């Protein structure tokens, strides 16, 4: 799965524009088939690490790959969305097509490598190298202010990762190994955990992105080409959530317990603030970008609930957001390709001349809101159910944010799709082509599948959730008066004796 897109990327550089398109499409479809084989061959309830490949030490890192349930689901998300990105760029990108397709194929290599790396420094290489092709995609094929957006994206994400590298060096020196499965069983000193946790947090919070480290995201989305926004929102934002799952929670459980208030506080602010900001946006891409920040806040709240429902909900929210936000950006790209504007006020009445578009756009709008029967409902329900066990106040704030999410998404849909069709150029816009239907329909099918039968996605990670929960359940807060996240606080002795 790593070799095929890497070889195809090199082949694209030495082919014609049309040849590069076909090479990229075929390579990503082959990877999708291999991903389906990985999914069907995965032994649910079996060994924690499966399909392990260990080529030994290569100097500063070891080439060791493998997956657990978390990695499996995120690898599947990556290989599922990549052919969609190639298809979305088939007509829209006409200059330097060979380099463009190569950049996306290298992005696929680095995303899969990040989720499958089992060596600390190999993970870091994949994690950071993923910046490079996306930086080029935004900077070369983006909008008018693409240079500013690409530099901002690169500097924000790189700065936080420098601290993470220092923390990794300390961890490898302390444990005597950079093997991630071994480090997951290592008990780091409690005092050191706080500094290690903050160093990793500096990188993962930007990647998510968490408020107030989110300001690079709207600019990057607005300036990126449609496929760039799809893969950025669909997969690259999930690297931060995966980092919390893989490193922060299991490796630094005590620090995670002590700093839960920080994550829950920032996340609650993010849900409310970015939803209010989304309500006043006039650019469709910016509105969806701010909604992404709010959805990612639901992820961090679920993760730091420290219980099974919260963790499972966070993973489902990541998968659902990866699908739904990607589809929403595709929906924006469809009408942008026809009218070359993302201003909401330029549209209206599309249900009249684009009924197929209106139907699919409505489905993804409802999935983003969290309508029961769609993927969005399952993840948000589980995440909030887990959070409720920890804090009623945080749950109430997040629910308010979800209500605001319904407001801005329905407001967007009403202004774009309903109303009178008064503009001649809008009236002349044709409905979805077969290519566009082929891009959107599979995403709709999977989002519906996840909403109707979520067990398909919960089962592969259930054992890993239990392992993570067992690892973090030993975490103790700084003071005896504080409850351990995810556990009910015991009654004081004098109260317990007074009860009948």
Q: Are 110 and 193 in contact (CB under 8 A)?
A: no
Between CA 264 and CA 261 the distance in angstroms is 5
Question: Higher model confidence: residue 82 or residue 176?
Answer: 82
At residue 218 the predicted structure's pLDDT band, cuts being 50, 70 and 90, is confident
- pLDDT for res 320: 92
CB 257 within 8 A of CB 306: yes
pLDDT band at 476 (very low <50, low <70, confident <90, very high): very low
Q: Is residue 380 pLDDT above 50, yes or no?
A: yes
Average pLDDT value for residue range 436-465: 92
Give the chain's mean pLDDT: 86
- What are the two backbone dihedrals, phi and then psi, of residue 258, each rounded to the nearest 5 degrees? -70, -30
Pick from 101, 109, 113: nearest CA to 137: 101
Structure tokens at 500: 């009948």
Work out the pLDDT band at 474, boundaries 50, 70, 90: low
- What percent of the chain is modeled with pLDDT above 70? 94
Residues near 475 by beta carbon (within 8 Å), at least 6 away in sequence: 253, 254, 256, 257, 306, 484, 485
Provide the percentage of residues in the chain whose pLDDT is more than 90: 31
Q: Name the 3-class secondary structure at 117.
A: strand
Q: Is the pLDDT of residue 325 over 60?
A: yes
The predicted pLDDT at position 314 comes to 92
pLDDT in tens, 27-50: 999 999 999 999 999 988 888 888
Tokens matching residue 125: 């290489």
In the predicted model, what is the mean pLDDT of residues 352-356?
A: 89
Predicted confidence at residue 362, as pLDDT, reads 93
**CA–CA separation, 68 vs 332, rounded Å?**
35
**CA 307 centroid distance within chain:** 20
The answer for 299, left when phi > 0, alpha when psi is -120 to 50, beta otherwise, is alpha
Residue 174 has pLDDT above 80, yes or no: yes
User: According to the model, what pLDDT value does residue 475 have?
Assistant: 62
pTM of the predicted structure, to 2 decimals? 0.87
Coil vs helix vs strand at 186: coil
Task: Render pLDDT for 106-127 as a digit per residue (tens, 0 to 9).
Answer: 999 999 999 999 999 999 999 9
Burial of 480 (0-12, 13-18, 19+ CB in 10 A): exposed
Q: 243-262: per-residue pLDDT in tens?
A: 898 888 888 888 888 888 88
Q: Is the pLDDT of residue 212 over 60?
A: yes
Q: What is the average pLDDT across 197-201?
A: 90
Q: What average pLDDT does the segment 463-469 reach?
A: 88
Residue 440 confidence class, pLDDT cut points 50, 70, 90? very high
Q: How far apart are CA 82 and CA 104, in angstroms?
A: 8
Cα separation, 475 vs 473, whole angstroms: 5
pLDDT of residue 56: 75
Structure tokens that stand for 348 in this block: 């209206």
Summarize the confidence of residues 83-112 as an average pLDDT.
90
H or E element in which residue 72 lies: helix 69-92
**How confident is the model over 80-89, as a mean pLDDT?**
92
For residue 356, pLDDT beyond 80: yes
Helix (H) or strand (E) holding 53: strand 50-57
Band the pLDDT of 189: cuts 50, 70, 90.
confident
Residue 283: per-residue pLDDT = 86
Q: Span 53-71, mean pLDDT? A: 84
Question: Is 416 in contact with 344 (CB distance < 8 Å)?
Answer: yes
Backbone phi, then psi, for 85, in 5-degree steps?
-65, -40
Confidence category of residue 487, pLDDT binned at 50, 70, 90? very low
pLDDT tier for residue 51 given thresholds of 50, 70 and 90: very high
Those residues whose C-beta lies under 8 Å from the C-beta of residue 421, and which sit 6 or more positions away, are 348, 349, 350, 352, 353, 427
The DSSP secondary-structure symbol of 344 reads G
């Amino acid at each position: 799965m790593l070799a095929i897109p890497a070889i195809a990327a090199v082949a694209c550089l030495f082919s014609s524009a049309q040849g590069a398109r076909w090479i990229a499409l075929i390579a990503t479809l082959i990877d999708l088939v291999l991903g389906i084989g990985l999914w069907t061959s995965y032994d649910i309830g079996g060994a924690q690490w499966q399909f392990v490949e260990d080529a030994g030490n290569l100097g500063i890192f070891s080439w060791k790959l493998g997956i657990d349930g978390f990695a499996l689901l995120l690898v599947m998300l990556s290989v599922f969305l990549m052919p969609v990105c190639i298809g979305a760029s088939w007509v829209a990108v006409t200059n330097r097509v060979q380099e463009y397709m190569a950049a996306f194929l290298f992005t696929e290599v680095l995303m899969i490598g990040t989720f499958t790396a089992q060596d600390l420094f190999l993970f870091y290489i994949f994690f950071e190298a993923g910046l490079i092709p996306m930086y080029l995609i935004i900077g070369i094929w983006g909008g008018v202010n693409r240079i500013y957006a690409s530099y901002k994206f690169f500097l924000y994400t790189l700065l936080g990762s420098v601290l993470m590298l220092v923390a990794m060096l300390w961890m490898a020196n302390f444990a005597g190994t950079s093997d991630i499965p071994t480090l997951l069983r290592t008990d780091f000193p409690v005092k050191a955990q706080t500094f290690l946790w903050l160093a990793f947090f500096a990188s993962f919070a930007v990647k998510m992105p968490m408020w107030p480290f989110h300001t690079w995201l709207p600019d990057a989305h607005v300036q990126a080409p449609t496929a760039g926004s799809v893969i950025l929102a669909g997969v690259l934002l999930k690297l931060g959530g995966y980092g919390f799952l893989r490193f922060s929670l299991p490796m630094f459980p005590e620090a995670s317990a002590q700093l839960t208030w920080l994550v829950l506080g920032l996340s609650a602010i993010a849900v409310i603030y970015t939803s209010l900001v989304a309500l006043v946006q006039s650019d469709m891409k910016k509105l969806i970008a701010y909604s992404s920040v709010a959805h990612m806040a639901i992820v961090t709240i679920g993760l730091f609930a420290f219980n099974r429902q919260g963790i499972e909900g966070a993973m489902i929210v990541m998968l659902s957001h990866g699908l739904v936000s990607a589809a929403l950006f595709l929906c924006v790209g469809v009408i942008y390709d026809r009218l070359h504007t993302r201003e909401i006020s330029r549209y209206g009445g599309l249900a009249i001349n684009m009924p197929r578009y209106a139907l699919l756009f409505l489905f993804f709008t409802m999935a983003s809101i969290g309508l029961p029967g769609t993927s969005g409902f399952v993840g948000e329900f589980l995440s909030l159910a887990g959070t409720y066990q920890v804090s009623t106040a945080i749950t109430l704030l997040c629910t308010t944010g979800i209500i605001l999410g319904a407001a801005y998404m329905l407001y967007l849909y009403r202004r774009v799709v309903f109303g009178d069709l008064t503009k001649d150029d809008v009236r002349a816009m044709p409905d979805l082509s077969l290519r566009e239907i082929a891009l959107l329909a599979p995403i709709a099918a999977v989002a519906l599948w996840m909403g109707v039968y979520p067990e398909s996605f919960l089962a592969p990670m259930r054992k890993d959730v239990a392992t993570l929960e067992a690892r973090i359940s030993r975490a103790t807060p700084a003071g005896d008066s504080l409850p351990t996240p995810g556990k009910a606080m015991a009654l004081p002795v004098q109260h317990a004796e007074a009860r009948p």
